[in-house]
């Protein structure tokens, strides 16, 4: 009897919900740029194809890291390993491409209890001691970025990191190539805070064109701030950078009111930020083009 009542209640509830389904307004349904698997969530077929594309681009992304290390697999260090006193096997200071908090997947001799099997494992795999390691020339990985953005044009990191690699060549030609890639990415992802900010970053650091960067950063700030609660993590990091550079650009173009307005909004969005309070107080001295590199959230 109880089961019947329960069943009737459930069916009744489901019926009432379905009758009202047309009136339900999603609380969170912003016209926000989506990334990752959600980017291809239009239909079952599109989703399946999208997952295939996203998986492939993610696979390429992982392999890009591996190629930079000449095949040596790296993995993040675990909390247990940290507690056990294991040190990360980080890059040499002059070889830093991006932040690495990792150790080799094939364990080094001091982490390995397998004896001769461990020695053989290290001999047959692409393994070498990676403390203070260097990287292969990132330019070698450019075709992979081209491939991953072709497979998945919504993969923002592919566009921005590819452009970063190109922009390591600080000549006008290198900058032009990076700009071209970013603009291509922007055409595919017009609402990407990260790509807009990256273009502005090149305007600031390579062309010293603050007035050219400000509209891009303003657009990125508006996009990011209006979807603050729903944007992806990488976009969120980019938005934090957007606030830094926009405030710096306003400071260096003698617009202190705009500088403070942007800094105040940025502090509201990122209360833990260390840079924005200085900009709000007007105590951040220096040159925005030089500071942009050092203030970058998440590394290059």
Partner 1 sequence: MKLYAWGALAQGVVLESVRRKDLWVVAILGFLIMMAAGTLGFFGMQGLQIFVKDLSVSVLGMFSTIVAILTAARMLPDEIKQRTLYPLLARPISRFDLIIGKTIGSVLVSWIAFLVLAALTGIALLTFHVKFEPIMLQYLLCKMMGLALTCSLAVALSAYMTPAAGATMSFILVFGSSMITRATMMAYIGAAPELKPVIRIFTAIFPEFTLFDLGGRVANLNWAPVPVWVVLFLFGYMFFYSSSFLGLAWLKFRRQAV
Q: In this complex, which beta carbon is closest to partner 1, that of residue 34 or of residue 86? A: 86
Q: In this complex, which beta carbon is closest to partner 1, that of residue 81 or of residue 258? A: 81
Shortest Å, Cβ 300 to partner 1: 21
Q: In this complex, which beta carbon is closest to partner 1, that of residue 68 or of residue 210? A: 68
Long-range contacts of 212-218, Cβ-Cβ distance < 8 Å, separation of 24 or more: 213/245, 213/249, 214/246, 214/249, 214/250, 214/253, 217/242, 217/245, 217/246, 217/249, 218/246
Q: How far apart are CA 72 and CA 52, in angstroms?
A: 26
User: Please, where are the H alpha helices in 21-77?
Assistant: 44-68
Shortest Å, Cβ 126 to partner 1: 4
Residues forming contacts to partner 1 in the complex (CB under 8 A) are 60, 63, 67, 70-71, 73, 78, 80-81, 83-84, 86, 105, 107, 111-114, 116-117, 120-121, 123-126, 139-144, 146-147, 150
| Maximum C-alpha span of the chain | 80
Q: In this complex, which beta carbon is closest to partner 1, that of residue 67 or of residue 225? A: 67
Shortest Å, Cβ 142 to partner 1: 6
Phi-psi region of 118 (alpha: psi -120 to 50; beta: other; left: phi over 0): alpha
> What are the C-alpha distances in Å from 143 to residues 70, 202, 264?
16, 21, 41
Shortest Å, Cβ 58 to partner 1: 15
Q: How far apart are CA 14 and CA 80, in angstroms?
A: 47
Shortest Å, Cβ 119 to partner 1: 8
Q: In this complex, which beta carbon is closest to partner 1, that of residue 45 or of residue 116? A: 116
């Amino acid at each position: 009897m109880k089961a019947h009542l329960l069943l009737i209640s459930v069916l009744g509830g489901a019926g009432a919900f379905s009758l009202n389904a047309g009136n339900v307004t999603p609380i969170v349904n912003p016209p926000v740029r989506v990334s990752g698997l959600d980017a291809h969530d239009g239909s079952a077929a599109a989703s399946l194809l999208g997952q295939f594309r996203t998986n492939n681009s993610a696979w390429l992304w992982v392999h890009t890291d591996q190629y930079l290390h000449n095949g040596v697999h790296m993995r993040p260090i675990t909390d247990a390993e940290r507690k056990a006193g294991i040190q990360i096997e980080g890059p040499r200071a002059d070889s830093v491409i991006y932040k690495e908090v990792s150790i080799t997947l094939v364990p080094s001799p001091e982490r390995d209890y397998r004896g001769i099997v461990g020695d053989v494992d290290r001999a047959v795999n692409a393994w070498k001691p990676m403390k203070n390691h260097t990287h292969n020339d990132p330019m070698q990985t450019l075709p992979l970025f081209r491939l991953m953005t072709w497979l998945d044009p919504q993969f923002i990191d592919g566009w921005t990191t590819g452009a970063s690699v190109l922009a390591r060549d600080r000549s006008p030609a290198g900058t032009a190539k990076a700009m071209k890639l970013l603009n291509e990415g922007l055409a595919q992802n017009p609402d990407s805070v990260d790509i807009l900010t990256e273009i502005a970053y090149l305007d600031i650091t390579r062309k010293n064109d603050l007035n050219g960067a400000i509209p891009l950063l303003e657009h990125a700030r508006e996009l990011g701030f209006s979807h603050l609660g729903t944007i992806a993590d990488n976009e969120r990091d980019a938005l934090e950078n957007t606030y830094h550079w926009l405030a710096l650009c306003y400071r260096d173009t003698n617009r202190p009111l705009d500088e403070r307005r942007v800094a105040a909004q940025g502090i509201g969005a990122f209360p833990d930020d260390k840079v924005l309070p200085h900009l709000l107080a007007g105590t951040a001295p220096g040159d925005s083009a030089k500071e942009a590199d050092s203030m970058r959230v998440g590394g290059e």
